[in-house]
Structure 1
Amino acid sequence: MSTADPCAKPGLMPFQQALNLLLEKVTANGHPLNTEKRPLAQADNRVLAQDIIAPIDVPPFNNSAMDGFALRAEDLTQFESLTLVGTALAGTPFTGTVEKGECIRIMTGAVLPAGTDCVEMQENTELNNHHSDTTSIVFRQSVKSGQFVRQQGQDIVSGSQVLPKGQLLGSADIGLLASLGLTEVEVFEPLKVAIFSSGDEIIQPGHALDAGQIYDTNRYTLNALLNKLPVSIKDYGCIKDTPEAVRKALLLADKSADVIITSGGVSVGDADHIKPVVDELGTLELWKVAIKPGKPFAYGHLANAQFFGLPGNPVSALVTMYKLVLPALQQLMGMSKQSSMQCRAITTTPLKKSIGRLDFQRGVYNIDEDGQCLVTVTGNQNSAVLTSVSKANCFIVLPAEQGDVSAGETVTIEPFDHML
C-alpha cells in the first residue's frame, strides 16, 4: 500500500518549477563570460562563442568513394569493356578528359576526371590486355551515374551554418572544423567554480577512520562531474562545521569564483551553518525542492559568485548536482539548452514509492530479445547508498503523485548520459 511521504511538507517547490526558477535566476545574477581565440587542437570540450559558417564546400570537388575505375555510365550500354587511358590518385588528379569508350584507374579520394560521372569498384571488373597493345577493363555489371561518387558540397555547402554558437565542441566537431581549413575558433572562457564540503565527521581518503568518521565522497563526485565541462575548478577541501569556518571559506571563494558549490550543511540540523551564513553574506533564493533524493537543495548568490548548496548524503548530492546544478552551469557557460532523453520501460521489480515528491530511483535498463525495454531497480535506494548509482545506467523517474509500482507496470526512465 502506498503511503504519504513524511518529508513532503508544505513549502517544497516542485522540481520543474525549481529548475525553471534556477535557470531564470542564474541568468539574471550571472556575469557574461569573456571569449578567447583558441587553436583548433586546444578547443576540444570548449563552448563556441560564434556561429561557424562554412568558407568552402566539403568536399571541395567531386571525388571517388572507392578504389576502382572512373567512367561515363552511358558507355556501358554500348561497350562491355572500356579502354584504360590513365590513373587518378588522391592528391594527383588526371588532367586530361576521358572520351567515349574510355575509363580511368582511380583511387579513393581522387578527383573525378572530366568526362566521367561514376565509379565502379575494382572487385566488379577484370583486366583484359591479351589481344592488343592497349589495356581494357571488362565491366561485369551495369553502373549508374553518380555511383560511388562523393559530390562537391555533399557534406557541407559553402556559406551554410556548420555549428551554432553555444555548441560544446567534441572530437567530431574538431575534425569538422579542420575539414573547413580553420586553425582557430572563438570560445567562451572557462567558468570559474569553487567547491568545498562541510562536516566534522568527514576525513580524506588515505587516512584511517576513527569512530564516527566517514570519507569525503562528494568532492570527488563533484570534481569528476565538473571535469567533463569547460570549467576551472578551485577545490577548497573540507570545512569544519562552524559559522566562522563556513564564512571564511565562502568569502574567500567569492573573491575569485563565478560559482560556489558546497555539499552538506544546508539542512536544519544544529551543525548546518551554510544556509544561514549565505543568508547573512548574500541572498538565498531557493531552498528545499520536492524531489527524492535531494530535498535540502539551496541556491542563492553572494557579492560576486552564485551559490549552490547540495545535500550531504552522497546520492542526494549527485542527483541535485546532475539534475539542477549542471543545467544551470551549462546555461552560465553559454551552452545551448540540453534536454534529457526519456523513454518508457517495464519494471521487472516492484518499486517502493511514497506519494509527495518526484523520485529519481536508480535502475538498470536493457532491451530483451523481443525489443522490449525492461528496467530493474538497483537494490537499496537510500540516499547514502552510492552503489545504487554506480550499478545503474538510468534513473527511474516516478512522479510526485505516484505511489508504489508493481512489477510489470510501465514507468518512465532517463538513461544516463556521458556525465554519469
Structure 2
Amino acid sequence: MTSAPGAPRKPLLPLDDALAQLLAAVSPLTATEQVSTFDADGRVLAANVVSELQVPAFDNSAMDGYAVRAEDLMFGSNELRVTQRIAAGAVGEQLQAGTAGRIFTGAPVPPGADAVVMQEDCTRIHDERDGEPETIRVNTTPLPGQHIRHAGEDVQRGDCVLPAGTRLSPAELGLAASIGMAQLKVVRKPRVALFSTGDELVMPGTVAPQDMPPGAIYNSNRFFLLNLLRRMGCEVADLGIVPDNREATIAALQRAAADNDVILTSGGVSVGEEDHIKPAVQSLGTLDLWQIAIKPGKPFAHGRIGAAHFIGLPGNPVSSFVTFLVLVRPFLMRLQGVQESAMKSIAVRADFDWPKADKRREFLRVRHNANGGLDLFSNQSSGVLTSAVWGDGLVDVAPGEPILYGQAVRFIPFQGLLA
C-alpha cells in the first residue's frame, strides 16, 4: 500500500471516507445473552423491548394535596369536607359531591375526582381534634385534570419502548424496569485483544521514575485504551507489550486472532524501520486501510487476520486517544448493532485564533471558559496527554479551515464520547 520509489504519493484518505469504509466492513455480532437489568448498563439490546402494560397503570396524583371534583369548586362553596385519606399503594373510595380526599404523590386518584389541588393552595379549617369533621378551604379554582398523571400517558400497552440496537444507559434501564423487565436480551460482549509495541515502553511500577533508562517511557496508552474498551462494553484480553521485532509481532497477532473479534494495537503503524505492524498484518491477512487525513492520528490502520478485525492506532498518546474516539468507538458500536454512531457536535464560540490551517482534518483539545466560549490548550502536540485531561472536548476543524477569534466552531464534548 506504499507508493513505489519516485511515484507520486497517494493522497491520504479523508476521515469521513475512512470511517465509512471501516463501518462497511463490520458485520454486527449475532450471539446474545440474557442479563439482569441491574447489570445491563452499557450493553446493547439484541431485541425490542415491548411493554405488556401501560405506564402509569392508573390515574395518580402528581402532588401531595387533595383530590377534588373541579365542578364543586367552580359552582359551589370553596369549603370541602375531607372524607378519606389515600396514600401511595392504597385505593380510594368514590368521591362524593362537596367532599375532598387527602392524597399523596403517586396515590391512585379516587373514582369521581378529576383534579388534585396542592396542599399549599388549601387552608385547613377544622380537623378531627376540634371534634368536627375535617374541612378545608380551597384557595384556587382547579381545572379538570390538574396535577393528575393519567394512565398510559408515559407508555401504552404494546409500545416498543426500547428498540433493538439501543445502547443502554441508566435511563433506559429504569424505563425497562418500569414495565417489569427483570432481564434483558443483549448482544454478547465483543472480545478485543489489546497490545502495545515498542522496546521503549515500560510499565508503571516495574521501574521507579529515577531509575528509568535513557529513551524509556511509561506505557500510558495501555491504561486509557483498556478502560475505553471496557466502557464500550468489551471483554478485553490484555496481551501487554510486544518487542519491536517482526517475529514477536507476528506471534502476538496470531495469538490475538485465534479467539477474538478485534485486535487493537498502539504503536508500530508508522513507516520507520522498527514499525513492524504493517508487514506483519499483511503476512497473516489483509491491510485494507492505512494512513488517513487526520491530525493527530494519521498512522491509523484497519485490516483482517482470519475472522478478526485488526485496528492499529498510532503510538503517540493523543493520536491514539483521538483516533479511538473518532474511529474505534463508532466501529465497536456498529459491531454491537448500534446503527447511529456519528459524533455529535454543537456550535460554540472560539475564544482563540487558529490561523495555521492544516491540509488534514484537525481535532483540537479545548475547554469551556466562564464566558461561554472555548479556550485552546497551549500545546496541541500529539504527545501531550495533559491536553486531553485539561480539555472537556474537541474542536473539529475542516481541512484548510483557519479559526478566527469569536467564530462559531464545531465542538464535540468528551462527555458524549467517553460514556
Shorter-normalised TM range: over 0.9
Is 1:291 the counterpart of 2:294? The answer is yes
User: What runs of 5+ residues in structure 2 fail to find an aligned partner?
Assistant: 1-7
**2:4 corresponding residue in structure 1:** none
The correspondence for 2:84, drawn from 83, 86, 94, is 86
Deviation of residue 411 (structure 1)?
A: 2.8
CA distances 1:307-328 after superposition (whole Å, capped 9, x unpaired): 0000111111111111111111
Deviation of residue 418 (structure 1)?
A: 4.3
**1:228, 1:419 within 8 Å by CA — same for their partners in 2?**
no
**1:239, 1:249 within 8 Å by CA — same for their partners in 2?**
yes
Counterpart Cα distance in 1 of 2:330 and 2:231: 13
Q: 1:146 to 1:212 in 2, by over 3 A?
A: same
Is 1:118 the counterpart of 2:115? The answer is yes
Is 1:319 the counterpart of 2:318? The answer is no
**2:62, 2:106 within 8 Å by CA — same for their partners in 1?**
yes
Deviation of residue 184 (structure 1)?
A: 1.0
SS for the counterpart of 1:290 is strand
**1:5 corresponding residue in structure 2:** none
**1:205, 1:215 within 8 Å by CA — same for their partners in 2?**
yes
Deviation of residue 72 (structure 1)?
A: 0.4
1:299-338 matched pairs, under 5 angstroms = 299-338=302-341
**1:178 corresponding residue in structure 2:** 177
Is 1:146 the counterpart of 2:145? The answer is yes
Is 1:262 the counterpart of 2:265? The answer is yes
Deviation of residue 15 (structure 1)?
A: 0.7
**1:160 corresponding residue in structure 2:** 159
Counterpart Cα distance in 2 of 1:245 and 1:47: 35
SS for the counterpart of 1:227 is helix
Counterpart Cα distance in 2 of 1:398 and 1:128: 68
SS for the counterpart of 2:415 is coil
**1:70, 1:103 within 8 Å by CA — same for their partners in 2?**
yes
Deviation of residue 300 (structure 1)?
A: 0.1
**1:19 corresponding residue in structure 2:** 19
**1:136 corresponding residue in structure 2:** 135
Deviation of residue 175 (structure 1)?
A: 1.4
How many residue pairs are counted as aligned between the two chains? Answer: 404
**1:254, 1:260 within 8 Å by CA — same for their partners in 2?**
yes
**1:225, 1:419 within 8 Å by CA — same for their partners in 2?**
no
SS for the counterpart of 1:172 is helix
**2:283 corresponding residue in structure 1:** 280
The more displaced of 198-207 and 388-397 is 388-397
Counterpart Cα distance in 1 of 2:176 and 2:408: 43
Counterpart Cα distance in 2 of 1:378 and 1:275: 33
Deviation of residue 260 (structure 1)?
A: 0.4
Counterpart Cα distance in 2 of 1:345 and 1:356: 23
Deviation of residue 172 (structure 1)?
A: 1.6
**1:118, 1:148 within 8 Å by CA — same for their partners in 2?**
yes
**1:3 corresponding residue in structure 2:** none
> Could you tell me the percent identity over the aligned residues?
39
**1:4 corresponding residue in structure 2:** none
TM-score by length of 1: 0.92
Deviation of residue 258 (structure 1)?
A: 0.3
Deviation of residue 33 (structure 1)?
A: 3.1
Q: Which amino acid aligns with 1:357?
A: R
**2:5 corresponding residue in structure 1:** none
Is 1:387 the counterpart of 2:386? The answer is yes
Is 1:38 the counterpart of 2:26? The answer is no
Q: 1:346 to 1:171 in 2, by over 3 A?
A: closer
**1:33, 1:191 within 8 Å by CA — same for their partners in 2?**
no
TM-score by length of 2: 0.93
1:50-129 matched pairs, under 5 angstroms = 50-77=47-74, 78-94=76-92, 96-129=93-126
Q: 1:293 to 1:309 in 2, by over 3 A?
A: same
Q: Which amino acid aligns with 1:249?
A: A
**1:399 corresponding residue in structure 2:** 398
User: What runs of 5+ residues in structure 1 fail to find an aligned partner?
Assistant: 1-7
SS for the counterpart of 2:13 is coil
The correspondence for 1:416, drawn from 411, 414, 417, is 414
Counterpart Cα distance in 2 of 1:338 and 1:52: 21
SS for the counterpart of 1:417 is helix
Deviation of residue 344 (structure 1)?
A: 2.7
Deviation of residue 223 (structure 1)?
A: 1.1
Deviation of residue 383 (structure 1)?
A: 0.7
Counterpart Cα distance in 2 of 1:129 and 1:363: 63
Counterpart Cα distance in 2 of 1:362 and 1:181: 43
CA distances 1:25-81 after superposition (whole Å, capped 9, x unpaired): 123xx6x33011112222222110011111111110001111111110010121121
SS for the counterpart of 2:388 is helix
